[in-house]
Structures are given as C-alpha cells and as structure tokens.
A and B are shown apart, each in its own frame.
Chain A
Amino acid sequence: MTVAACLDTAANYDEWRNIAKAMLVDNVPPKEVDWNYQARDSGSLLDTLPTTRSHSAVKVITVPKEFVPLAEKVICHSNPQRFDLLYRLLWRLQSEKKLLEILSDEDVVLAHKMEKSVRRDSHKMKAFVRFKEIPEPDQLSGARRKFWAWFEPDHFIVERVAPFFQRRFTDMDWIIATPKGSAVWDGTALTMSRDPAVKLDTDDATDDLWRTYFANIFNPARLKIKAMQAEMPKKYWKNLPEADLIPDLINTAEARVQAMRERQATMPPVFHERLQAVVKTEKDKPPEAAGSLADLKHQAEQCTRCDLYKNATQTVFGDGPENADIMFVGEQPGDQEDLAGLPFVGPAGKVFDMALDLAGIDRTKVYVTNAVKHFKYIPRGKRRIHQKPNMGEVRACRWWLKKEIEFIKPKLIVALGATALTSLTEKQQRLSDFRGKEFPFGAGQKLFVTVHPSYLLRIPEEDMKHVETEKFINDIRLVKKLAIAS
C-alpha cells in the first residue's frame, strides 16, 4: 500500500518537512510513500495522511544538525526522486544516528551529489546571469536604474540565490526571470514568483564593450577549449552575450599565432631610442667613491660580495650617529630586520633595547651593526628559519665592517655573540674565553665581548633564562662603565 504525499511547491523545505514529520510519526516506511508535487487538487495536507496506522508513543524526531542545510539544498534539485531520498535519509537517521558521517553510504553519496549539483548551479547562476538595462526615456539623474536578466537554471534555485543579488545590486531595480520562477528587487522588497517566466528580446549597448573586452583578453597562443567548456558548459552559452564570439576566436587562433611568429622584428619607435639614450648616460656615470658613511651605506646596497644578497630582501647596514663612542656588532639581520632594513628591530632587538635601557645607554647615541649584512635563512612554509652565516660569508662582509669602524672610530666595540667576535678578531674563537672582558683593539680602541641577545630567547628553561638575562644586563652595564672610563 502506498501513501500519496502531495507537495504544493517544487523546492520548499518547510513544506516537505511538515509532511515528512507527519509520515514519520505515523511510521510510514519510505517505500510506501509516493511523493509528488503539483498533482494535488484540493484539501489540506493532513487530509492525505493515513490515519489507520498505530502512532508510536510520543515520538521525538531528531536529526543531526548537518541534515537541515543538506536537505535545504537537495530539495532544490530537479530530480523527482529528491523528496523520496530525503525521507529515506530522515527515516534511516532515526536508527542510524551517525549515518551522515558515513560518506560512502549510497544514500548519503546520492544526497551529496545532488547537493553539489545544486551548489554548482547556484554558483553558475551568480556567475552567468547577465543584466541588461531597461532604458527609461526620461530618466531623472539620481533615479534608480532598471535592469532585467534571463537565466535558465537546472534546478529550483532562484529563491536560494536571489538574496545574493539583492546584497550585491542594492542600488538598482532588477528582475531575474527564469523558466523555474523569478525574483524582483525594487530597493525595498525582494519578491519571488514560482511561475515560469518568458524570455524577452532586448539589447544593451554595453554588451558590445563587454564583447570587445572578452575578445581581447583571450590569448590565442594558449588555446584550451576543454578547460573553458568544463567551467562554462555550452548549455549556458545562449544567454551569454560574449559566447557567440567563441567559435571564431577558436578558429582564427592558430593563424594569429602563426602571423605573430612570422612577422619580422620591427624597428623600435623613436621614443624608445630617446629613452635608451637617457639610460645609457646614467649607466656611464663613474661609480662614486665612498666619501662618507652615507655613501658607504649606499654602496653596500648593491653588495654582491657573497651569494646571500640573492635571497635576502635588502642589505641591512649599520645604524647610528657617525660620532658614536660605542659600536655594537651583532651576527646578521633576522626576518624583521630584513624587511625593515634596520638592525636589531626584531625580537632580539627588543631584548637588546631593554638591556640598553636598564644600563642607561641611549640607543640613538650608539652605532649598531652586524658582522654579516644580509639575512641568511631557509624557507619553511610561511616562515623563514635563521641560518648561521659561514666563514666565507663572514669574511666577505668583514670588508664593510672594517669600513664602518674606520668611519665611526668608536672608542669601544662590543661584540655580541661568536660570529661578531670571529669577524672582529679575524679568527674563530670561543666566546666563553672572552666574555665579560675588555681587550685592546686596533688603534687605541677597546673590544668587549658578550652573548648575542637572541641566545637568551632560545633558552627554554625559565630559571636559566632569567639568570642569563641578568648576566647579559650586567655585561651591558659594564659596557656603560667602560665607555665612560675611556
């Protein structure tokens, strides 16, 4: 025995749900329900429901929360089996609570397939609706303009998609007419009709500009017809103003490419020669000698003494006044320094600043630089992992460091970490042999050695970190004393 379940509308989830609930309460198994819409002549919905069945005692119908959004889409599908499928899922869900998670179940697969098809059709509607303007003979300036569009969807999606157009084309009046219903927006209300509409033949002059754009944005040298049709199937073409250009664009593509190839190279236009002459005089200028620290910095921007420049953003040169008494030398710029073009502005720079602050040293009065002036790293996904510079790189960059020392003539140079120490003393040294002490350096200058502040950031253990940070701050306090003494 079958029970007829008659629906008023093709794709109304609420209507279906009410009937399905009643059926379920009545324990009507899916096989015995004959779902159809439009076939109903009169009477209320509940009239069609069987009354002979035994009600199961106070039945609570529950569905997982994923069911509703899934069913709301599936019900828009044009497949006449959709009501049946949804009822079957609802029925089964009462005993198989996790059914929807079994993505390989046949009913679940079918529902997802239909859902996907509805989603795709909705997406294509958003893409391929083309509005044409309905000209108003004496349009007042500032009055709302009027547009209309004809579209042929596969499924009953107009009601689902219309709010998208309302949110997007808010400042104009429009109608989207389809064989499966229409939507009308007038600036205050979105009105739906479920009746099939009829196509009008109208023209919009702007379509010609769009066709010009479509023809010219196409690159004939990379014909990929299948890729185009996969995304813009032919069934949509008849309502797209640009589509009738496609056959001709395809047919002439090869000849156009051939013509490009065969054409002889032409003489450049006159303005090109003029431009090149300007470029040439600029190139012929002799390189400037480093007369000042600023010149030196400028020259360092072009440095290719080692390969590190290839992967770094920029040279990070020293920063500070030319008459500084203290010069701090770190290892190399890190991620933030590389982007900003300034030394010690990242996390290690914060530790450095804090120590200077506690020791009473004004950062704007000291010169801060690095042994190596380009950031060395390896990319790991969205970050860059710092790499220690090798001896060759340190040696190549020592050239700049020496020049900086020559210009600044600091009384005290502070090496932060082993790389700086190595670069300054020109041989590999153990940091622990030198740390916290003062050594004569160059012509009457002094060298003081401590750790690099990034070392403190890498200590995992909190107590140890605290002890080492205190030690570093004391070192910087010593630096202050030494600077005053000298």
Chain B
Amino acid sequence: MKKTLQERLAILSDAAKYDASCASSGTTKRDSSRSGGLGSTEGSGICHAYAPDGRCISLLKILLTNFCIYDCAYCINRSSSNVERARFSVEEVIWLTLEFYRRNYIEGLFLSSGIIRSSDHTMEEMVRIAKELRTTHNFRGYIHLKSIPEASQHLIEEAGLYADRLSINIELPTDSGLAKFAPEKKPGNIRKSMGDLRLQIEAANDPTLQTKRRKKFIPGGQSTQMIVGADAASDSTILQTSSRLYGSYSLRRVYYSAFSPIPDSSKNLPLIKPPLVREHRLYQADWLYRFYGFGIEEITSARPDGMLDLDLDPKLAWALAHRGKFPVNINRAEREMLLRIPGLGTKTVKAILVARKHRSLRLDDLGRLGVSIKKIKAFIVAEGWSPHSLIDSADLRAVFSPKPEQLTLL
C-alpha cells in the first residue's frame, strides 16, 4: 500500500536530518509587498523552532527521495541500509513548502535527494520544484538546493537562477577518507563542482556591458559540510581543509557535523557518542580563522596531535600558550590585539574602540559592556587594574577548566 504523505514526510525528514546546514541568511533582501505574492527574506535568517538537539529549524529540510545507489558508510540512506524508502512528487514538495510557509513554521525549503540512477533526472525535478515555487506560486522565501553530483552543468546553472544557495558536501576532510567511506564519491568531482559554481557566481556578479544590473545567481552563495569523528582525521587536518575551501571556492560556510549513530548503521564505523564538544570547538576555531585574524597553524599548533583542547575554547587555549603577549592594555592596544583577548567578541571590541575615545575604561566599564570580568581580568590592563602576576600563575588554566562531571556510559 502506498505510504501516506505524513508517513513519507516522517521518512524523508528523518533521512535529511544529518545535514547540519540550516542557514536562511545572507541572501538578497526581498519581499512580496509589490508582487502581492508570498514570502520574504530580510537579511538575518529566522529560526522558527528548535528541536531538543539544540539545532535551529529554519527551513523545511527534506529529501526528494531516500533511494540511493551510493553506499557511503556514514549515511543513513546508503544502499546497504534497510531503512524504509520513500519519495515525494514534485507537487507534494511544493505543497508542503507553501503550506508550511503560510503557517510561519519555516523560512523556506532545503531540498536534497538520494542519488538514483540518473543524476540529471533527479536534478531536473529539484530545479522544477524551485522554478515552480518562484514562477507559478510567486514564492519569495528562501530556497537551498543540494547539487546532485554528476548532474549536467546546464541544470546547475538553471538551479542557480531560482535558488538562494547551492551546496555540495565534501563529507570528509581527506580524499583517502572519502575513498574509504564513500567509495562512489569522487573528491575531484566535488571540488570541480565547487570551482564551477565559484566561476558562475563571479561571472554573474560582473556587470555586463549593456546594463549595470547583475544577474541573479545564488545570492546566498555556496556552502558545504564535513563529518567529524567518522575517520581519524585530526582537527588540524579538518581546519586546513576548511581554510582551503574558503580560499578556493568562496564558500559562505563550512558546516561541521559530529558523526552520530544512525539507524541500521554500518559495522565499519565506530559506535561513538557524537563528539559534540569537538564539533563546537571546530566552529569556534573556524570563527577565529574567519573573523579574528588567526591562522589555522596558530590555532592548532598547541598540541602535537593537531587536536583542539576540548576543555578550553581555542582562543583561551591560544592565550594560555602565549602568555608573553599579555596582559594587553585595553585602552591602548590595537584592534587586532583586542580581538585576541579571551572573552572579547568582535562587537565588544568595536564598542571598546568607540568608548575609549571618551574615557579611559575601567573593569566595571567593561562589565557594563557585557564582558565577563572573571574571564578577562588576568589578560588585561585597564584604568585602575593590573593583573600583576596573575597571568604568570601556574594554575591559571585550572581557573578556566570545566569542573569534572560524572560521565554516562557510552
């Protein structure tokens, strides 16, 4: 008997949940006040709900089908798994997107798919969904499409006209890891599609001779995801891969997804608790690289095994390993150095730079700017405050290390 829409929604959202990307931000601003249609994107994304896994639910994240001819060990939809299989029709995905959107459950659609015999057929259906949402239904919400590997160039180009973002997952940080766990995926082809997308984005951004207007082509850019903890790659390897991806393909985001047990899992993979803290540290390191002027080597050189310290955030770990650079005078130091002080974010640094023009800042001024005095005081000099030997004390690390807690089995 054919499964009901609700049953298939259950299967095809369960199948989609291991993709961490949920962003609905970073695209062009637009709304329906002129078109009289449905939908808007106004800069920052909106998370319409949170699941108990702490992840934001912003988009309707589903697969068109979870039938797949690939056998990627880490994936719930791999061909050797006995999970239930289902597929949506083009019309069903459109209907679900619009009805969910009308009730303000979501910002838009994130559509991916298993790889069935013909990549082009799958990609064609995905493009048709995006196209009909935009043209027939006058939908201006967010659309993120996953590129199907090996799909024809012209379909990717067409997808880019309707989607806000396209992505293809690199999955694992090394080619050898991918060869082991995802034998059918070709790392070279993944890089090639990212390169093609970057060229297309740049070509669309070049104003033509006739008009200054730029063509619309995935205004939300491209992103990718790496699975953390399925293979033996170190944090240093992972972050180096990220920096390469950011530099090479102008990715908006690299997502890190802690490898997590899946139903009917492959016996070739570790039965681990998902390394959530590690995932969190990688995101912090990624931020330090992109917004705080840190080099990857600086972040990962503290330990010989290339792993980040799980107990401390990477900025604090760097500061503790480079105590000679502290204390930093909060009233005089340059922006670059302020950004390296543990406990100061980019916004606070901006506020400090403005505020210190008018008066010399004291510890309690910083407190009012929302800074944790406890965290910062060993690293700074402020009006009326000097840490003296606090920065050199041997047990400074202990001050920041988390309290030991009872571990659960597994």
Residues of A within 8 A of B (CB): 98, 101-106, 109, 123, 126-133, 145, 147, 149, 164, 166-172, 187, 204, 206-210, 212-228, 231-232, 240, 242, 246, 249-250, 253, 257, 260-261, 263, 265-269, 271-272, 275-276, 279, 301-302, 309-314, 335, 338-341, 377, 379-384
The answer on a CB contact under 8 Å between B265 and A228 is: no
From known contacts A209-B5, A212-B10, A260-B265, infer whether A219 and B18 are also in contact, taking CB-CB under 8 Å. yes
Choose from A207, A275, A380 the contact partner of B79 (Cβ within 8 Å): A275
Is B410 an interface residue, CB under 8 A from the partner? yes
Q: Interface-forming stretch among B246-254, B298-306, B318-326?
A: B246-254
The answer on a CB contact under 8 Å between A261 and B261 is: yes
Scan residues 5-25 of chain B and give those whose CB is less than 8 A from a CB of chain A.
5-6, 9-11, 13-14, 16-18
**7 further interface pairs, Cβ-Cβ under 8 Å (given A104-B361, A214-B51, A224-B53):** A109-B369, A127-B46, A216-B10, A219-B51, A265-B266, A339-B195, A341-B192
Is B121 an interface residue, CB under 8 A from the partner? no
Scan residues 71-101 of chain B and give those whose CB is less than 8 A from a CB of chain A.
71, 79-82, 96, 99-100
The answer on a CB contact under 8 Å between B49 and A240 is: yes
The answer on a CB contact under 8 Å between B40 and A167 is: yes
Q: Which 8 A-B pairs have the closest CB atoms?
A: A227-B54, A224-B54, A379-B247, A104-B365, A167-B31, A268-B80, A170-B32, A218-B51
Give complex CA distance A209, B101 in Å.
13
Choose from A170, A228, A383 the contact partner of B53 (Cβ within 8 Å): A228
| Least Cβ–Cβ distance between B22 and chain A, in angstroms | 10
Give complex CA distance A240, B49 in Å.
9
- Contacts between chains A and B (CB distance < 8 A), count: 253
| Least Cβ–Cβ distance between A374 and chain B, in angstroms | 11
The answer on a CB contact under 8 Å between B54 and A222 is: yes
Mark each residue of chain B from 38 to 53: 1 if its CB lies under 8 Å from any CB of chain A, else 0.
1110100011111111
| Least Cβ–Cβ distance between B37 and chain A, in angstroms | 5
Give complex CA distance A62, B410 in Å.
64
Q: Interface-forming stretch among B128-136, B147-155, B349-357?
A: B349-357
The answer on a CB contact under 8 Å between A231 and B39 is: no
Give complex CA distance A249, B263 in Å.
16
Question: Across the two chains, which residue of chain A brings its CB closest to B258?
Answer: A222
| Least Cβ–Cβ distance between B399 and chain A, in angstroms | 23
Choose from A166, A222, A380 the contact partner of B33 (Cβ within 8 Å): A166
Q: List 15 A-B contacts (CB under 8 A).
A: A104-B359, A104-B364, A109-B368, A129-B104, A131-B103, A164-B42, A168-B38, A171-B37, A210-B103, A222-B53, A223-B53, A310-B175, A339-B195, A340-B195, A383-B247
Is B105 an interface residue, CB under 8 A from the partner? yes
From known contacts A167-B40, A216-B9, infer whether A147 and B103 are also in contact, taking CB-CB under 8 Å. yes
| Least Cβ–Cβ distance between A313 and chain B, in angstroms | 4
Is B199 an interface residue, CB under 8 A from the partner? yes
**Chain A residue contacts of B273, Cβ below 8 A:** 221
Question: Across the two chains, which residue of chain B brings its CB closest to A232?
Answer: B50
**Chain A residue contacts of B216, Cβ below 8 A:** none
Choose from B191, B266, B361 the contact partner of A314 (Cβ within 8 Å): B191
Give complex CA distance A407, B306 in Å.
46
Q: Interface-forming stretch among B56-64, B204-212, B333-341, B390-398?
A: B56-64
**Chain A residue contacts of B6, Cβ below 8 A:** 208-209, 212
> Residues of B within 8 Å of A, CB-based: how many?
93
Question: Across the two chains, which residue of chain A brings its CB closest to B273?
Answer: A221
**Chain B residue contacts of A103, Cβ below 8 A:** 351, 354-355, 368-369
| Least Cβ–Cβ distance between A426 and chain B, in angstroms | 29
**Chain B residue contacts of A340, Cβ below 8 A:** 195, 199
**Chain B residue contacts of A301, Cβ below 8 A:** 188
**Chain B residue contacts of A206, Cβ below 8 A:** 99-100, 103
The answer on a CB contact under 8 Å between A217 and B57 is: yes
**Chain B residue contacts of A339, Cβ below 8 A:** 195-196, 198-199, 248
| Least Cβ–Cβ distance between B338 and chain A, in angstroms | 14
| Least Cβ–Cβ distance between B295 and chain A, in angstroms | 9
Question: Across the two chains, which residue of chain B brings its CB closest to A268?
Answer: B80
From known contacts A127-B46, A313-B194, A313-B195, infer whether A275 and B71 are also in contact, taking CB-CB under 8 Å. yes
The answer on a CB contact under 8 Å between A257 and B261 is: yes
From known contacts A167-B33, A210-B103, infer whether A218 and B194 are also in contact, taking CB-CB under 8 Å. no
Give complex CA distance A123, B58 in Å.
13
The answer on a CB contact under 8 Å between B52 and A260 is: no
**Chain B residue contacts of A105, Cβ below 8 A:** 368
**Chain B residue contacts of A240, Cβ below 8 A:** 49
Choose from B17, B244, B271, B351 the contact partner of A311 (Cβ within 8 Å): B244
Mark each residue of chain B from 215 to 248: 1 if its CB lies under 8 Å from any CB of chain A, else 0.
0000000000000000000000000000110111
Give complex CA distance A204, B100 in Å.
12
Choose from A131, A208, A220, A314 the contact partner of B102 (Cβ within 8 Å): A131
Is B119 an interface residue, CB under 8 A from the partner? no
| Least Cβ–Cβ distance between B55 and chain A, in angstroms | 8
From known contacts A212-B6, A275-B71, infer whether A104 and B82 are also in contact, taking CB-CB under 8 Å. no
Give complex CA distance A276, B260 in Å.
25
Is B311 an interface residue, CB under 8 A from the partner? no
The answer on a CB contact under 8 Å between B261 and A130 is: no
Choose from A104, A132, A167, A169 the contact partner of B368 (Cβ within 8 Å): A104
Question: Across the two chains, which residue of chain B brings its CB closest to A170?
Answer: B32
Is B389 an interface residue, CB under 8 A from the partner? no
Is B406 an interface residue, CB under 8 A from the partner? no
From known contacts A213-B13, A379-B243, A379-B246, infer whether A169 and B48 are also in contact, taking CB-CB under 8 Å. no
**Chain A residue contacts of B260, Cβ below 8 A:** 219, 221-222
Choose from A222, A261, A266 the contact partner of B276 (Cβ within 8 Å): A222
Question: Across the two chains, which residue of chain B brings its CB closest to A278?
Answer: B69
**Chain B residue contacts of A268, Cβ below 8 A:** 79-82
Is B262 an interface residue, CB under 8 A from the partner? yes
Give complex CA distance A248, B293 in Å.
44
**Chain B residue contacts of A212, Cβ below 8 A:** 6, 9-10, 13
From known contacts A164-B42, A219-B53, A379-B243, infer whether A313 and B80 are also in contact, taking CB-CB under 8 Å. no
| Least Cβ–Cβ distance between A252 and chain B, in angstroms | 11
Give complex CA distance A215, B53 in Å.
11
Give complex CA distance A302, B179 in Å.
13
The answer on a CB contact under 8 Å between B50 and A227 is: yes
Give complex CA distance A340, B196 in Å.
7
From known contacts A103-B355, A168-B31, A224-B52, infer whether A204 and B244 are also in contact, taking CB-CB under 8 Å. no
Question: Across the two chains, which residue of chain B brings its CB closest to A132?
Answer: B103
